[in-house]
Amino acid sequence: MPAPLLFVLSGLTQYVGAALAVGIFGTIAAASVAWLRIAVSAVVLVVWQRPWRTRWTAPELRMAVVFGVVLALMNVSFYIAIDHLPLGTAVAIEFLGPVAVAAVTGRGWRDRVGIAVAAVGVVLLAGVSLETGPDAVVGLVAIALSAACWAAYILLGRRVARAASGGITGLSVAMAAGAVVFAPFLAGGAAPVLDDARLAALVVAIAVCSSVVPYALEQVVLRRVRAATFAVLLAMLPATAAVVGAVVLQQVPHGLEVVGLLLVSAAIVLTGLDREDVPPTEAPPPA
């Protein structure tokens, strides 16, 4: 399946999860909702992948743990940011992370021009607003941290995806590590799910839609494309949101939003997605 199509599927599931999460912020703090996503996703992935059956080297295990902490911090800081900033502003600022990755790791002018075009498209699609309110500082610090984590997520995630232990198996260990590290700080705020079966079911659905499916798909893509190409592909997420809004909610893009969609599409073509990397040879299974 082509990498862009995998990203469309990833974006669709993420926005379903986001829609389910809308009603939870009033009951559970944003940071605790993020931790619940990570913790439930870890349980699902560990049961699915059973990472204890894999022969791990010490460097692979350390890399998965570091990746998990970065992934968890990215989610927590983003949820805090959108609790203080307009969503469009947060999305546009966070995209600075992938922009930096493409600028540093790109192989030529096509990668760098492509990420610049994609960045402009994301800004137009996100509908950036400068009216951020009195508590904007917290949101800006949080989204800057999330952008840095997103850049690290791309670089570390690619190494985990291409390791002999396997991408999704590595992701299961990463999610578990992230959940454990942040549990002392955020698990207490998640107590309401213990007394409300409906709320617990929503959290499971959010975790599967917003974390398990998209992050697993991204591990597949990260094995196949360069970091710079992956960074440009991330621009498809807000573009997918715009298309879904047009089809499902009749929120038809107009004016600059249409220009943004065209720019994102042009960036994906410009970076030459036909130049996908050949996946490394699979390691033989443990004897």
DSSP string, 120-139: HHHHHHHT--S---TTHHHH
This prediction has a pTM of 0.82
285 located within any domain: no
281 located within any domain: no
98 located within any domain: yes
pLDDT of residue 286: 42
Q: Distances from the Cα of 218 to the Cαs of 59, 147, 196, in angstroms?
A: 22, 17, 32
End-to-end Cα spacing for the chain? 31
275 located within any domain: no
Which of 186, 176, 161, 216 is closest to 38 using CA atoms?
A: 176
Q: 176-192: b or e for each residue (b if 16 or more CB lie within 10 Å)?
A: bbbbbebeeebeeebee
What tens-digit pLDDT sequence spans the chain (287 residues)? 777 788 778 878 877 777 677 678 778 888 898 999 999 999 999 999 999 988 888 999 999 999 999 999 999 998 888 888 877 778 778 888 888 887 787 777 777 787 788 888 877 876 666 655 677 888 889 989 999 999 999 999 999 988 866 689 999 999 999 999 999 999 988 888 888 888 999 999 999 998 999 999 999 888 888 887 887 787 777 666 666 666 655 666 677 777 877 787 777 666 655 444 444 444 444 43
pLDDT of residue 62: 93
129 located within any domain: yes
276 located within any domain: no
Q: How many domains does the chain have?
A: 1
207 located within any domain: yes
Q: Distances from the Cα of 152 to the Cαs of 149, 168, 201, in angstroms?
A: 5, 18, 31
Full domain range(s) for residue 42: 3-270
121 located within any domain: yes
